A and B are shown apart, each in its own frame.
Chain A
Amino acid sequence: AQRVTQPEKLLSVFKGAPVELKCNYSYSGSPELFWYVQYSRQRLQLLLRHISRESIKGFTADLNKGETSFHLKKPFAQEEDSAMYYCALKAQGGSEKLVFGKGMKLTVNP
């Protein structure tokens, strides 16, 4: 069965501190991994996906198949990064179905 685990529900840091939001997955095939973000009073939206291998808003995430992880990192957090972050997995093949983790609330304090 496909499963996404975000072990921490809350993370609070000060502005300028590094952040790492952890995500582990369970899937026997070759998955596609994503990070979705929901800012206060806004909709859930895609932040980045591992296929793109790009940095979005200073965030990066590397897929580690050995550790089945897809941790989201940013070296210097900003106050505007405060949001709910969801890790999601898409199984290989034609299905577009996503499996989400429970989410993690990041608070960046001034």
Chain B
Amino acid sequence: EADIYQTPRYLVIGTGKKITLECSQTMGHDKMYWYQQDPGMELHLIHYSYGVNSTEKGDLSSESTVSRIRTEHFPLTLESARPSHTSQYLCASSDRDFGYNEQFFGPGTRLTVL
């Protein structure tokens, strides 16, 4: 079934740990995105990719990094987590056709850094 997956759904870790948030999609989409959302606040784009080996930083500065080695996989990594990284992280994907295409969102990962 075509879908977009995020793991883990919830993560509580200590300061200084390295973490990777996984995002995979079986939608056949070329474009993928990472958003960060603090409670009660707007979604901010932190990374996006238009295809394999293509990654760009979004509008909100983030200490995280991403990679796009496979079309369906777009992991986000924090080398050293800090309490300021506590947030919800949403992954999304969209198709490549001309014009705007709907972004499909994953269920999100809620990260808490102690």
A residues near B1, Cβ cutoff 8 Å: none
Given A43-B106, A43-B107, is A96 in contact with B48 using a C-beta cutoff of 8 Å? yes
Q: A32 interface residue, CB < 8 Å from B?
A: yes
The reply to whether B59 and A96 contact each other, CB–CB distance below 8 Å, is: no
A residues near B106, Cβ cutoff 8 Å: 43
Chain A interface size, as a band, is: 10 to 19
Q: A11 interface residue, CB < 8 Å from B?
A: no
The reply to whether A102 and B107 contact each other, CB–CB distance below 8 Å, is: no
Q: How far is the CB of B71 from chain A (nearest CB, A)?
A: 16
- Tell me the residues in window 33-74 of chain A with beta carbons closer than 8 Å to chain B beta carbons: 43-46, 49, 51
Contact with A along B31-58 (1 / 0, CB 8 A): 1010100001111110010100000001
Q: B7 interface residue, CB < 8 Å from A?
A: no
A residues near B101, Cβ cutoff 8 Å: 96
Given A43-B106, A46-B103, is A97 in contact with B58 using a C-beta cutoff of 8 Å? yes
Identity of the chain B residue whose Cβ is nearest the Cβ of A3 in the assembled complex: B42
A residues near B45, Cβ cutoff 8 Å: 97-99
Given A96-B31, A96-B100, is A4 in contact with B105 using a C-beta cutoff of 8 Å? no
Q: A25 interface residue, CB < 8 Å from B?
A: no
The reply to whether A101 and B42 contact each other, CB–CB distance below 8 Å, is: yes
Q: B94 interface residue, CB < 8 Å from A?
A: yes
Identity of the chain A residue whose Cβ is nearest the Cβ of B43 in the assembled complex: A100
A residues near B48, Cβ cutoff 8 Å: 96-97
**27 A–B pairs (Cβ distance < 8 Å), ordered by A:** A43-B106, A43-B107, A44-B90, A44-B105, A45-B105, A46-B103, A86-B43, A90-B100, A96-B33, A96-B50, A96-B94, A96-B101, A96-B103, A97-B33, A97-B45, A97-B48, A97-B58, A97-B59, A98-B43, A98-B45, A98-B103, A100-B35, A100-B43, A100-B44, A101-B42, A102-B40, A102-B41
Interface residues of B (CB under 8 A from A): 31, 33, 35, 40-45, 48, 50, 58-59, 90, 94, 100-108
